[in-house]
Amino acid sequence: MSAPSVELIETGRFYADGGAMFGCIPKASWTRRYPCKADNACVLAMRSMLINDGNGRIILVDNGVGNKQLRKLRSYNFFDLVDINSELQRRGIAPTDVTDVVLTHLHFDHCGYTTQRDDDGRLKLSFPHARHWITRSQWDICNNPSPLEQSSYLKENIEPLADATGLRLIDSPVDISPAVALKIAGGHADGQIVVYATDADRTYVFAGDVIPLAAHISLAWISAYDLFPLNSYNAKRLILDEAARLHQSLVYCHDAYLPCSTIKKLRKDVYSILK
Cα dist. 193→7, 93, 120, 137 in Å? 18, 24, 34, 11
Q: What pLDDT is recorded for position 186?
A: 86
Q: Say which residues have a Cβ less than 8 Å from residue 82's Cβ, sequence separation at least 6.
A: 9, 10, 11, 12, 64
* Residues in the chain, overall count: 275
> 172: burial class by Cβ within 10 Å (0-12, 13-18, 19+)?
exposed
Residue 231 phi/psi, 5° resolution? -65, -40
How many whole angstroms separate alpha carbon 108 and alpha carbon 239? 24
pLDDT value of position 252: 98
∠ CA 247-251-6, rounded to 5° = 85
pTM greater than 0.85: yes
The CA-to-CA distance between both ends of the chain, in Å, stands at 31
- Which pLDDT score is estimated for 229? 95
pLDDT value, residue 200? 87
Whether the CB-CB separation of 126 and 97 falls below 8 Å is answered with: no
Q: What is the pLDDT of residue 163?
A: 87
Report pLDDT for 2: 80
Mean pLDDT per 10-residue section of the chain, whose length is 275 residues:
90 97 97 96 98 95 96 95 94 97 98 94 95 98 94 95 94 97 94 96 96 97 95 97 97 98 95 89
Instruction: Read off the amino acid at residue 110.
Output: H
**pLDDT at position 56, please?**
93
Please name each of the domains of the chain with its CATH number: 5-208 (3.60.15.10)
